[in-house]
Amino acid sequence: MSRYIATRAIRGANAIVAEAEALMQKAIADKGADHPVAFPNTAYFLPVMYGMLGAEVETLGQMEPILEHAKSLLHPLPDEKLWVPYLGETLDSGMSTILAAEAIEAIRFVYGEQPEPYPGLELAGVTDYSNFGGNGATPPTDGHLNGPIDDIQLRSWGIQLVDGRMPGFAAILGAAHSNEAAVAIVRELQSRSILTFLCGNVNGRSIIDQLVEEGVEMGFDTYIIPFGRDTLSAIYPVGFATRSALTFGGMKGGQWRDILLYNKYRVFAFALALGEVDDLKYAAAAGVISYGFPVIADTVIPEILPTGVTQYEHVISMPWNEIEGATEEEKATKLVQKCIEVRGLKIKVSEVPVPVPYGSAFEGEVVRKNDMRVEFGGKHSRAFEYLFMEKMDDVEDGKIELIGPTFEDIEDKGSMDLCILVKVAGRKMEKDFEPVLERQVHYFINGASGIQHIGQRDIAWIRISTAAADKGFNLNHFGDILYARFHEDFGSIVDKVEISIITDPDLHAEWLEKAREAFEERNVRLGSMTDESVDDFYSCTLCQSFAPDHVCIVSPERLGLCGAYNWLDCKASFQINPTGPNQPIKKATEIDEAKGYFEGVNEFAVQASHGVVTEVSMYSIMENPMTACGCFECIAMLIPEANGVMIVSREDTSMTPTGMTFSTLAGMAGGGLQTPGVMGHGKFYILSPKFMSADGGFKRVVWMSSILKEQMAEQLKAVAEREGDPDLIDKIADETICTDVEGLLTFIAEKGHPTLEMDPMF
């Protein structure tokens, strides 16, 4: 153990706790001890305080005992002559540092200093502060950095964190050696789909400034999140890690040991300190080491090499000037590789032969009109993609052809028609897998940097940026991407892949007609699939790496609660990986048809949940409802007074009639526990005839987030007609109508909602 690191971490901790205490006393004097404190749109109060100490801090005054506790973890500086082991003292200091840093950031929100202003900055995906004003702070109006990641984003990243698309996260503190180095490091992390959090500065210059100067797009969509330009904002990644354990691991506040171990073994994160390291950075590093996250520095600092608290080394020094490499990119590659090695990340890198960087982190990248070379689809042209299976002999593997003109003759920022035709063949390929594979075209193409893909089927909309076109990206590269990815990801069901890129107008029109016929056939086929028409349901235990006791049962009429996996997806996944997370479940004997109890499902649930869940009702919210991990798109919850349920979307941050927001409700619905009356589910499950069918079905819905009403207007209309009440949607309240039970009861009584005349739900 390094005495130097221990000294500086302990000194930094002493100082920051003193600073936090002084700030808290000032805030109490200015605003009063009862003044509320919170991080916007997040559950679990101030998450580190809640996770580590079980403290539900909601006011300035409630911070006092927390800082007293932080003080109790402080130690004197190590003696200069007598050297003893310091690891315990250093880790204590780290914990007191993150408690103090969280207090400071929460107080900064009170003073309107968070999220940190950054005039002119536009982020591609950012925490929504529009509803935030609970502690008297004014929501930011101009450009700003992100501040804490909201629950909506945490949950929507959940599935990517568990299925390996997002192998972990890197918290970068400080500023890189040069702007080129900053871009190279971040691009290297992006190409490995590692979520990148940015904080801190050196001499007032942050990596955030460097990336802004270089025009790198930041935000949720590009996996690069700028938290703040100082080390204090590193509390947000620590809070994110704590909330991951509480959200997906089913842990409760105060289970500090379990939360730290959860992070050590399940959250693959590391810190990268760029530039000089001050006392607070050493202290913060000591804090993250407790979480099992190692720290890698690009400067000369002492190292802590033995393992123990982290799985591998604790602190590593890799001075930038000593890294071998002719260019900044080569050095960045080696630095990132070292980080990955030290944290033991498992990375799957797709080797795709295109002239631009490629990885999942580029999936959400937006190509704005000004940066665009050419677009396909959208307002001015038609783009579609169609994948279908053929006989083995009719598919020439590896053939990629462009039929028609390329975009070279199209004026800058112009548009043209495009068809991406994918023919596949395989011994295990089935007709039902066509839509599953076709949907991947969106993800595969989006993985290329500088390419934007939106929509699917005949409403696809693709843009190629000027930067990508300048690097030589052309239409044939769509084929190269699809060929490589289909073989890599679906190699066990696809033996041959042939791709035609069609821009020829006559052929385009001809294939569009054929494709539309096929889409219609698929719609009919999917619509006719019912739970009764199949012998097997499928399990999804993908999230067990985060929520160890949760198991999703996916049936044709009930998709996974994350919304990402339907029955056909699971079936295809089982073909691809027969020992993977999607296993067929023989329904076996039907115990109760109405409530959806099946012998096979119950047996599987017992075994897969390690005995925690013994019975699962597929169609009831009131009796043994299915558990949830934390990735759910919606929460349905009983409102006893209304004899019905409300459905809250995770995109809805407003208050609900239960007096709780989505974030608070999510704490009750997640973590692999069965709570009668509460259920996490996918948003398209609402449209299913089996939605809560044992409890009265869709007619029980009395309140629904308006965003769901808007997003699924047409489908909900069809559901209302199916239920025999075409005006039903108008009888369902939303947050614009009421956010309390009294208002809800008045509304449904006025509208004559059918649930008022239905049997009691319990």
Partner 1 sequence: MKELILEMPTMYADHHVLKVREALEGLKGIEEAYASSAWKKLMISYEEKSIKPAEIEKALTKAGYPPGEGATPILVTASSDLKRDPQWEKLGNRVTETNQKDLEMSGQSRR
Binding site for partner 1 (CB under 8 A): 11-12, 14-19, 71-77, 79, 82, 88-89, 92, 164, 167, 174, 200-204, 229-232, 257-258, 261-262, 264-266, 268, 276-281, 346, 545, 548, 581
Q: Whole-number minimum distance, CB 733 to partner 1, in Å?
A: 42
- Whichever of 79 and 535 has its CB closer to partner 1, that residue is 79
Q: Whole-number minimum distance, CB 514 to partner 1, in Å?
A: 40
- Whichever of 18 and 591 has its CB closer to partner 1, that residue is 18
Pair 417, 462: CB distance under 8 Å? no
Q: Which has the closest alpha carbon to 728: 681, 687, 692, 760?
A: 687
Q: Whole-number minimum distance, CB 21 to partner 1, in Å?
A: 9
Q: Which two tokens stand for residue 249?
A: 């691991």
Centre a 10 Å sphere on the Cβ of residue 215 and count the other Cβ atoms it contains. Answer: 9
Say how far apart CA 621 and CA 692 lie, in whole Å: 6
**506-511: long-range contacts, CB 8 A cutoff, minimum separation 24:** 507/403, 507/404, 507/419, 508/382, 508/404, 508/417, 508/418, 508/419, 511/384, 511/386, 511/419, 511/421
- Whichever of 18 and 467 has its CB closer to partner 1, that residue is 18
DSSP string, 39-67: -TT-SSSSHHHHHHH-----BSGGGHHHH
3-class DSSP state of 340: helix
- Whichever of 359 and 404 has its CB closer to partner 1, that residue is 359
Quick one: angle between helices 279-290 and 3-31, nearest 10? 100
Q: Whole-number minimum distance, CB 19 to partner 1, in Å?
A: 8
Q: Whole-number minimum distance, CB 104 to partner 1, in Å?
A: 9
- Whichever of 238 and 678 has its CB closer to partner 1, that residue is 238
Q: Whole-number minimum distance, CB 641 to partner 1, in Å?
A: 43
Q: What are the helix (H) ranges across 585-632? A: 599-608
437 burial (CB, 10 Å; 0-12 / 13-18 / 19+) is buried
- Whichever of 76 and 724 has its CB closer to partner 1, that residue is 76
- Whichever of 229 and 753 has its CB closer to partner 1, that residue is 229
- Whichever of 277 and 437 has its CB closer to partner 1, that residue is 277
221 burial (CB, 10 Å; 0-12 / 13-18 / 19+) is middle
Beta bridge partners of 401: 500
Location of structure tokens 């296993």: 583
- Whichever of 167 and 644 has its CB closer to partner 1, that residue is 167
Say how far apart CA 454 and CA 186 lie, in whole Å: 24
The DSSP call for residue 537 is: E
- Whichever of 548 and 600 has its CB closer to partner 1, that residue is 548
Say how far apart CA 511 and CA 385 lie, in whole Å: 10
Q: Whole-number minimum distance, CB 9 to partner 1, in Å?
A: 12
Pair 598, 589: CB distance under 8 Å? yes
- Whichever of 58 and 276 has its CB closer to partner 1, that residue is 276
Q: Which has the closest alpha carbon to 744: 697, 701, 710?
A: 701
Residues written for the chain:
762
Q: Which two tokens stand for residue 176?
A: 């890189």
Say how far apart CA 20 and CA 35 lie, in whole Å: 16
- Whichever of 277 and 647 has its CB closer to partner 1, that residue is 277
Say how far apart CA 378 and CA 551 lie, in whole Å: 40
Q: Whole-number minimum distance, CB 123 to partner 1, in Å?
A: 20
3-class DSSP state of 470: helix
- Whichever of 12 and 556 has its CB closer to partner 1, that residue is 12
Q: Whole-number minimum distance, CB 280 to partner 1, in Å?
A: 3
Say how far apart CA 414 and CA 329 lie, in whole Å: 33
Q: Whole-number minimum distance, CB 14 to partner 1, in Å?
A: 5
Q: Whole-number minimum distance, CB 583 to partner 1, in Å?
A: 14
Q: Whole-number minimum distance, CB 187 to partner 1, in Å?
A: 24
Q: Whole-number minimum distance, CB 278 to partner 1, in Å?
A: 4
